[in-house]
Structure 1
Amino acid sequence: MAGGLKVLVVGGGVAGPSLALWLARLGCEVVVVERSAQGRHTGQQIDVRGYGVDVMKKMGIAEKVKERVVREPGTLLVDRDGKHRAYFPTREDGRGDTSISSEYEIMRGDLCEILWEATKDKVVYRYGVRVKGLEQVDEGVKVSFDDDEGKPEVYDLVVGCDGVRSATRKMMLGEGAKDPFCPTGGAIAWVTIPTEEGDTRDFVWYASPGKRLMGSRKDRDDCLRAYFITSGLPEDHPIRTTLRSGDIMEQRKAWAAHYKGMGWQSDRFTREVVESTLADDFHASETGQVKMERWYEGRVALLGDAAYCPSPAGWGTAMAFVGAYVMAGELARHCGLSADAGEIGEEQREKARKAIPDALKAYDETLRPLIVKVQKVSRAGEGLPSSRFAISMFLAVMGLVERLKLDRLMMRLATGGGSDFGWKLPEYAELGVENDEK
């Protein structure tokens, strides 16, 4: 007898452990390598919507997530004086896709911890390890690491889940290949700062001339999460140049300079982003999308932001869940795998190995129509208002939307007719989820 397929997953954030959960159910021998010295159970607030909720239920983690959601009453829009201009409450209806604030709002670190708890007993996690080389050979993929644990190891499949700047993607495409990350000229940053009296648990947003958005969320009583989003930045703008340099304090100063004096809480937020000790968790990145002709090469594949980052308007977590589900389902279908099937014989394992490229092709063809639509919708909302008049008109319209209770319709229009994007989530009986978690 022999074990199942031997799979290396690169990246221990959301996409990697999600795929590992499914593959472990299929009897695969899964190793997750993560460059961080410990689990990446950190990060700011994220949401799960639409298909992501459906898949989360199939994974069996929806109730765990619900136990740890951020209780965010709704989304509040304010003007430069802090005056309330529009408010949209969170509506909980079991799908989490009918209001601006989702039913499934959760801190990224909490979600990562839930995924780790669900996989740690069936998956091997190796921290502080980077992949330094991939070589496709007859028997699989020969992988070399940067640690000193021994010779290169051969895996049947390698999946890069290592983010928008994926090193796995670079190795898969080969030296000299064009980077498929397409920057939009914008950037986003988030940071933790001290809370003050009057801070609300609503998701608060303020828009200022110069294509600048600033927001806040409060998932805990002892701190506030500040958000900054901007667009239309030239190549030599300090925000973009400091992002390339990697100097975190210089980044913090660049963001503070760009937002100082813009109204609402800007003076407080820009002061704290530089001075507060809580701001040590500051993180910033360029906004953009990853666009590739295909997400696999031989027995190496990409998943999540590494393959199809949909920013700037979100959907990353949901698409990581859906991508992991589709990849696992197509591997099961093409490779003759099934949940709880136990060990397989060497002959069956060899057949499964040979079918991997066909499974990856099916994964690409099945998921791509959805990703194309999600990326299109995401780009549609990136043009931030640039003038005081445009902002005033926007706030007036949103106030009307609130009064007429049109926010559900607005969300449906924002996703091209609803959260399903006209795409049907496949069913994979091989994954053993006929009786989904309700």
Structure 2
Amino acid sequence: MPPLKILISGGGVAGTALAFWLSKLGHSITVVEHYSSLRTTGLQIDVRSHGVEVLRRMGIEQAFRENAAPEEGMQFVDSKGRNRGYFGAAKTGDGNQGITSEYEIMRGDLCRLIFDATHGKAKYVFGTSVKGYREVGKGVEVELKNGQKERYDLLVGADGVWSSMRRLMVGDEAGKAAFHYKDETNAYLTYKQPIEQGERYIGHMYIGTDRRSILIRRHSPEELQLYLLLSRPDEKIARVKRGDVEAEKKAFHEIYQGVGWKTDELLEKMMASEDFYCERLGIVKMDSWWKGHVALVGDAAYGPGGSGMGTTTAMVGAYILAGEIDVHCKDGDVNGIQSALAAYDARFRPFMTKLQAGLESEGPSWLFPTGAWGIEVLHWIVQLASTLRLDLLAKYFMWETAYGWELPKYEGLEKALEREKGEGA
């Protein structure tokens, strides 16, 4: 039988990771991305727990490390800039990390790394996306926004938490309803500031009153990353249309007045920023990640907003989907596609259920102080944990352990990589 003909909508981490595995298996893969080129923007992300093992199985761990962000650790500071606790980057090698993972990388670098690994194996079409589709026999006829129509055996949506593919698959209202707001909003940007002599690559976390926090991270000798982390609902943000950058900047400028530390200086950087991005955090929850010959992967299917596990779940989900396609669709057998999609859902759902249940719990109140006294108590706890080298905060913020779930192995994927290595030798 000929190889499966598969269209992936979205060229981010989930889409490129899925293209990586499916192209290694010899299937005919096309990736459409609505941006005009590969998106190499975005701030610092990391890979954790089972995602580290997937990275190794892809054979790109060394390339990842060569492109890794240089962050050495994270320091908590008070309003006077004093160190209240320092946590160095974890160096366990097993994927269970601290606040700073040993697998930190800029988002654009990871996308480029995986994209390069699919070079010549998968076809990428930029500047368009899926307009609509219809089931036809044992496949789907897809229409792109550029007017092109073509038939595929499988269509996969990997287009992020605000997925248009999700709405196409289950309907507009159900697609929107799958996103559950967490009443948290983050703003991200970079700004120019040359590194000073003796300065180390250490992140600085400042906890302000009324659940307004600030994180600064250095990823290069010329630039810093700024994160404004608002862990509560706010009407100023709620009134702003998502994507209205100037209005979002203005809202954050008003909300962060009087927070202290370097806030005034940083707000000036924010207002002048050209790469400002605002994200309303939430969890994507669906009863099924597939329908007919269409499936979702990554944030489009199960975005774990605020967990620090989005990149990991995208890579693990793509690995499992590709593995189940190989198991159930031997030699390009289209009759096994729906069995593969059902197996993908059944295999990965226990992990995501455990992870999302943790995200929906509020956690201990001392982690979310609103006043100066509560913040001081938190600083004492942080200082104790730092002194005893106990990364307690990571345990609650990163959600990286899902007890009782093991990453499956797929012999077909392993053999495909070995075969490619042999051909390249």
TM-score, normalisation: structure 1: 0.90
Q: Kindly indicate whether the alpha-carbon contact (under 8 Å) linking 1:164 and 1:305 is maintained by their aligned counterparts in 2.
A: yes
DSSP 3-state at the match of 2:239:
helix
DSSP 3-state at the match of 2:57:
helix
Match 1:329 to one of 323, 332, 354: 323
1:164 maps to a residue whose letter is V
1:421 offset after TM fit, Å?
3.2
Match 1:261 to one of 251, 258, 261: 258
Q: Kindly indicate whether the alpha-carbon contact (under 8 Å) linking 1:311 and 1:375 is maintained by their aligned counterparts in 2.
A: no
Residues 381-420 of structure 1: matches in 2 within 5 Å? 384-407=368-391, 411-412=394-395, 419-420=401-402
**How large is the Cα RMSD of the aligned pairs?**
2.1
Q: Kindly indicate whether the alpha-carbon contact (under 8 Å) linking 1:48 and 1:102 is maintained by their aligned counterparts in 2.
A: yes
Residues 332-343 of structure 1: matches in 2 within 5 Å? 332-336=326-330
2:208 maps to a residue whose letter is S
Q: 1:314-362: CA deviations, max 9, x gaps?
A: 20000011000100111111112xxxxxxx5xxxx4xx21110111001
- Which residue pairs with 1:120 in the alignment? 119
2:358 maps to a residue whose letter is V
1:144 offset after TM fit, Å?
0.4
* In 2: Cα distance, 1:115 partner to 1:435 partner: 14
1:177 maps to a residue whose letter is A
Cα distance change on mapping 1:433 and 1:397 into 2, 3 Å? farther
Q: Kindly indicate whether the alpha-carbon contact (under 8 Å) linking 1:243 and 1:285 is maintained by their aligned counterparts in 2.
A: no
**Residue 361 (structure 1) aligned with residue 342 (structure 2):** yes
1:411 offset after TM fit, Å?
4.0
1:197 offset after TM fit, Å?
6.5
**Residue 303 (structure 1) aligned with residue 285 (structure 2):** no
TM-score, normalisation: structure 2: 0.92
* In 2: Cα distance, 1:52 partner to 1:301 partner: 21
**Residue 86 (structure 1) aligned with residue 90 (structure 2):** no
1:191 offset after TM fit, Å?
0.6
2:369 maps to a residue whose letter is P
Q: Kindly indicate whether the alpha-carbon contact (under 8 Å) linking 2:289 and 2:295 is maintained by their aligned counterparts in 1.
A: yes
- Which residue pairs with 1:171 in the alignment? 168
Cα distance change on mapping 1:19 and 1:233 into 2, 3 Å? same
2:352 maps to a residue whose letter is I
Q: Kindly indicate whether the alpha-carbon contact (under 8 Å) linking 2:328 and 2:340 is maintained by their aligned counterparts in 1.
A: yes
1:174 offset after TM fit, Å?
2.2
Q: Kindly indicate whether the alpha-carbon contact (under 8 Å) linking 1:183 and 1:288 is maintained by their aligned counterparts in 2.
A: yes
- Which residue pairs with 2:131 in the alignment? 132
Match 2:150 to one of 150, 153, 165: 153
1:291 offset after TM fit, Å?
0.4
- Alignment gaps of 5+ in structure 2: none
Q: 1:106-134: CA deviations, max 9, x gaps?
A: 00011111011001210000000121111
2:168 maps to a residue whose letter is M
1:257 offset after TM fit, Å?
1.8
Q: Kindly indicate whether the alpha-carbon contact (under 8 Å) linking 2:187 and 2:229 is maintained by their aligned counterparts in 1.
A: yes
- Which residue pairs with 1:319 in the alignment? 313
Cα distance change on mapping 1:411 and 1:384 into 2, 3 Å? closer
Q: Kindly indicate whether the alpha-carbon contact (under 8 Å) linking 2:57 and 2:414 is maintained by their aligned counterparts in 1.
A: no
Q: 1:203-257: CA deviations, max 9, x gaps?
A: 21111111111010001111111001112214xx22232243x321221121122
Residues 237-276 of structure 1: matches in 2 within 5 Å? 237-244=235-242, 246-275=243-272
1:413 offset after TM fit, Å?
6.6
- Alignment gaps of 5+ in structure 1: 337-343
- Which residue pairs with 1:426 in the alignment? 408
1:97 offset after TM fit, Å?
2.3
DSSP 3-state at the match of 1:204:
strand
1:178 offset after TM fit, Å?
5.3
Q: Work out the percentage of aligned pairs sharing the same amino acid.
A: 37
Q: Kindly indicate whether the alpha-carbon contact (under 8 Å) linking 1:374 and 1:421 is maintained by their aligned counterparts in 2.
A: no
* In 1: Cα distance, 2:255 partner to 2:125 partner: 40
